[in-house]
Structure formats: C-alpha cells, structure tokens
Structure 1
C-alpha cells in the first residue's frame, strides 16, 4: 500500500489551504491540443485536490503537453447537481461525485452507502475494487458518462451538532440535520427519527452558521478542511457509512483522445486515486486532536442502537427491494448479512 510521509503531506496541505480559490491548471510550454475541465466540490486543501494537482502535472508531462487538465475545486462551476448536468452534457469533462448523490441519476450507484455496511477499509476496498464496484461502474457506463476504475476516498462519516451530542439513535429524534441531495441519505436519517434537509455542500457552512440546520454529517477530513468545526460544537463518532467519490468522465469528450492519451489519463487518475485513499486514512488519524484543539467535543456512540433502529424501521428491507436481489447479494458478499 502507498504510504506518504505525513510531515511533508501536511505541509502540502497547509500550502494548499492558503492558496487562492482559483482553478488549478497544469501549464505546458505550448498550447495543449486537448484542454479538459475537472470539477469537484472539495476545498483546495483536501487530499483530493492535492493529488489531483499532481495528476494534472503528470498528464501534462507524459502527454508532452498535448493534454492539459484544469482543476476547479470547491464547487466553482456550480452545485453538485448542476455540475453533474454539465458533465452529462460535456460542458465539464471530469467530475468527482459521491455515489449517493450520483444516485439521483443512477439509482444503483447508491448501494455502497448503505448504513453500517462496511466495518473498515479492508471491507471497503475489497467491495469497491471487486464485484460490487464493477457492478456499479457497469450501470454508470450505460449512460453518457463513465467511472474510472479506482474510486477515491471520502472516508467514514461522523455526525456533528451544535446543541447536543448524539450518543444513541434516539438522540437524533427531531434533529434538523443537513444531508446531501440523495434519496438514500434522506431515507436513512428519517428512519433514525431525524428531520433531514438536503443542502448542497457549498451551502453547508452558512446553513449551520445561520441555524437553518442544527447539524450535519461528513468525514473528519471534510469537517476539518471545510472548517465546519467553526459552526459546530459536538462530533459523534458514528461511522454510520463509508462514502467515496467516483471519478467520472464524459464519454464523448474522453473518446476524442487517442488510445495512447486515454491510457496516460486513465493511469494518472487511477494512481492518484489510490494515493488519495491512503492520504485520507492518514489525515483522519491526526484530525481528532486537531479538531479537539479548536473546541470540538468528541464522543463515542452505541453503534448497535443505530443498526437496530434501521432494522426496526425496515430500512434494509426497503433498500434490498429497491436494489434487487443480485446487487444486494454482491453487497452482502463483502458486508455480511444486513437487516
């Protein structure tokens, strides 16, 4: 497994955090034959953008300047749903998106976000690099877009709140919680008894700051790089789901590249994704102490109470029916029996 030097990586993160919020472009000595636009919804300091910048430089170098990838972080080209539409039309060439938000277009993509399906990263990568991931990529590939082979890492998600910690499932009763615009996310938190509100990521900080919502849920790396700790008081370590980012491409746009250039781009993107996976794991291991130093209070939770609540509410039975027996069997091959 790739391991990055933690001290140098965090130094890169600090530099990226202080950079202006503009498109990151890999420049070649002459005008590129192909200029490809890559959009994402995360801050420049996030490992996704650190590795994407390296990826763009590699593509420029290996293609001898024929391919330039321009990087637009932090929802610069629009909300997730807007940018997905741009990707489908070809206005954007590449986009990294959570499988659950992609589920608004391709329902089968959401299956990796089933609550408490994965215990650890060994579970996750076995599934997403194996038959479950292949099944999802096939569904994506039946449309105008496609997914590269290596899904990027979002991390295991935790719940943050402003008024009280969440220790058991019943503590979510009535809590107005921001969730991404995804049917599965909304369904799961309704079954917990919360009042989920779909808010695009670009608006999360202000929604928490103005108390439009009381809490949200994200991996520690996003809570840190998006500075959500400034507008939240408690972080409950629920690990309620793993989330990632499919690196998506527009088929027609990618098809304009020669097979040789496609291979250069594909290898650079997949290799960057593999490195970014480990970056997120390492970053999360350092972040509890950093976040505690900002005043964010952490608490452990009774995970069994959350799974029991989902079972009692019929969550697993409902989504098994929606995904179908074949896809559900692929999920349970890696997760074990659910529901």
Structure 2
C-alpha cells in the first residue's frame, strides 16, 4: 500500500475530474469491454485525502477481482453536490455509494449520531470495539430500514480537539462561559451548553474571521482541519480533549446493492471493508505528523483528563437526556464498549 504523507493529504485541491477505478480520467479506456455494472461513488473530500486514496485502491481491486465486470467511478470533492444532495441521490439510486459522516446520516437515521456523544470514547480501541461490534451492527440495522446498505467497517473522520486564544483548557471548569464555535449540530450544542460554555453555531467558512475578531475565543475540530484552515494563527492552545469522535459510513443504495450477484457483492464488500481499515491507519499517522507540525508553528498542546468533563455532563443531565433520545438498547451497547456514562 502506498504510504501517505501529510504533504500529500493536505494539498488544497480545486474540483478534480471524476476518476475511474484505476484512477483514470473519465473518458479514458479502463477495460477493453464495457463493464456489466458501473457504480458511482460520491464524497466531499479532496482526491488526495486518505479516504479517496484508499477508495481508489478498493475500486482497482474490485475491477481486477471481478475481471472487469464491475467498475467503480469516484466523484470526489463535492462534484455531485453537498452532503444533503448526495444523501438524496444515494437514496434515489442516482448514486450507488456515498460516505456521509455519522452526523450527516443522523438527519435521516437519528441513532447514527450516537458515536458523537461527548467524551464517550477514551481512545480508538474503544471506538473500534463499539463500531466494529454490537453498536455498529445496531446502527447498520437502522440504516437498512431507510433503504440503504451500510458496509461493516466505518472509515475514520477523527477525534475533535479544542483550541483557545486564551488560557488552556485543563478541566471542565475552564469551559465556564467560554465563547466557542461549534457546528450546527443539536448534539454538539447540547454538550457545550451542559459544560456551561457559550456555544455559537457558525458555518466553517466563518471560523477564522470570528476567532480573529474575537466574536468567539475558541473552536473545536480534528487536527488536520486546524492545520488546513491555519487556525493556529489565531489560537494559542490546543487541548487534546478527544471530546467527540466521528466517522464515515460507507453506504450503498439498497436496490442497487441487492441487484449485484452474490459473488460480486462479496468482492465489493471485501475491497471496501479492507480499504476502510487501511484508511484508519492513515488517519492515525496523519494526526501524529500534524500535531508535530502545529507545535512547530507555535500551538501549545495539553492533554486534559476526561473525568471532570464526564462528571459535569452527568450532573447537568446531558447523558440522561441523550440516553432517552437514542433509546435504552443503543445506549446500553455504547456503555458496553466504553463503560458507564449515564
């Protein structure tokens, strides 16, 4: 497998052409004869992101193992529209595959947001224990009820970390009154309110200027996003809080998936799941290299214990409220992997 470097991943790309399974530009011949099944895959990330690098490998493997019967064409970088557009297209069958983050598909399948419960996961071992295990199976079953097929292995979108322009965040007490930008997500807003912060829902395009002008004093995102957006220029400290983990579900239109013969389903499933596991390793390595780079650029890091944050959320009734929203069964499966929360 090709190793991925931070430089490769973080090249800012403009819209790139759709690519075929071997990485060829559409219009160039991939196989001598037309494929029996031409499958379209859309996503919102640049072609150089580990998700697309591994998806290309999976597509090439599918074409080879199916002897040209199946070709997957990849449309990266929002070529086919935003997340809402692509979710609609994969439901209608206009798109075969899509990789929404859990928070995106949660607009359709609410329980899918359960992996983003605040301070639920201590580390990746707990994440994959849950999402490769019973909790993931529970969410996939819910996804299947809306006419979609979710593959067994989630792809990684990373842990979110908190940065500040003022003092570092060492414990939940440092959240009191903190003006922090958060995504437009009910779960995120509820969590920061429960921590006594003052969350402001802003579009990502507004984050840098809002930090620069002190409309907000803090923000939270995965480390590669903090680097790409140059937020280190307007922030001083970064708490490696791991307060939310999010991943990508690799989903297929249910009718299209059932229309594939069983032998081809096996080939496609194996290729996509194996590529997802490889992508997880890519993101882990990327985060380590990005932290070193951000340190060199002057961002100071600290690693707070999750204990005070969990206690504050518990006392504020956050966990009890969301246990009620997600249901006892899903919540029980989460706690089976991470320990008692509510």
The TM tier, using the shorter chain, reads 0.7 to 0.9
Q: How far is 1:24 from its partner? A: 3.2
Q: How far is 1:111 from its partner? A: 1.4
Match of 1:178 among 174, 178, 182: 182
Whole-angstrom distance in 2 between the partners of 1:198 and 1:93: 32
Structure 1 residues 51 and 232: alpha-carbon distance in aligned structure 2, compared to 1, 3 A threshold: farther
Whole-angstrom distance in 2 between the partners of 1:16 and 1:311: 38
1:14 to 2:18 alignment: no
Structure 1 residues 166 and 86: alpha-carbon distance in aligned structure 2, compared to 1, 3 A threshold: farther
Aligned residues: 327
Whole-angstrom distance in 1 between the partners of 2:122 and 2:180: 27
User: Aligned to 1:150, what secondary structure does the other structure show?
Assistant: coil
Q: How far is 1:161 from its partner? A: 4.1
Consecutive unaligned residues in structure 1, runs of 5 or more: none
Q: How far is 1:321 from its partner? A: 1.2
Q: How far is 1:45 from its partner? A: 3.0
Does structure 2 retain, via aligned residues, the 8 Å contact 1:104–1:183?
Answer: no
1:91 to 2:94 alignment: yes
Q: How far is 1:267 from its partner? A: 0.9
**Aligned residues: CA RMSD:** 2.6
Whole-angstrom distance in 2 between the partners of 1:38 and 1:290: 32
Does structure 2 retain, via aligned residues, the 8 Å contact 1:38–1:72?
Answer: yes
Equivalent residue number for residue 291 of structure 1: 294
User: Aligned to 1:238, what secondary structure does the other structure show?
Assistant: strand
1:248 to 2:247 alignment: no
Does structure 2 retain, via aligned residues, the 8 Å contact 1:191–1:315?
Answer: yes
Looking at CA atoms only, which structure, 1 or 2, has the larger radius of gyration? Answer: 2
Does structure 2 retain, via aligned residues, the 8 Å contact 1:208–1:231?
Answer: no
Whole-angstrom distance in 2 between the partners of 1:232 and 1:331: 36
Structure 1 residues 166 and 191: alpha-carbon distance in aligned structure 2, compared to 1, 3 A threshold: same
Q: How far is 1:294 from its partner? A: 3.1
Q: How far is 1:291 from its partner? A: 1.7
Does structure 1 retain, via aligned residues, the 8 Å contact 2:11–2:48?
Answer: yes
Structure 1 residues 232 and 79: alpha-carbon distance in aligned structure 2, compared to 1, 3 A threshold: farther
1:303 to 2:313 alignment: no
User: Aligned to 1:70, what secondary structure does the other structure show?
Assistant: strand
Match of 1:124 among 124, 127, 133: 127
Whole-angstrom distance in 1 between the partners of 2:260 and 2:323: 39
Consecutive unaligned residues in structure 2, runs of 5 or more: 25-29
Does structure 2 retain, via aligned residues, the 8 Å contact 1:174–1:194?
Answer: yes
Does structure 1 retain, via aligned residues, the 8 Å contact 2:208–2:229?
Answer: no
User: Aligned to 1:193, what secondary structure does the other structure show?
Assistant: coil
Q: How far is 1:319 from its partner? A: 0.9
Q: How far is 1:337 from its partner? A: 0.7
Whole-angstrom distance in 2 between the partners of 1:167 and 1:79: 36
Whole-angstrom distance in 2 between the partners of 1:68 and 1:307: 47
Does structure 2 retain, via aligned residues, the 8 Å contact 1:159–1:218?
Answer: yes
Equivalent residue number for residue 29 of structure 1: 31
Q: TM-score, normalised by structure 1?
A: 0.86
Whole-angstrom distance in 2 between the partners of 1:232 and 1:281: 25
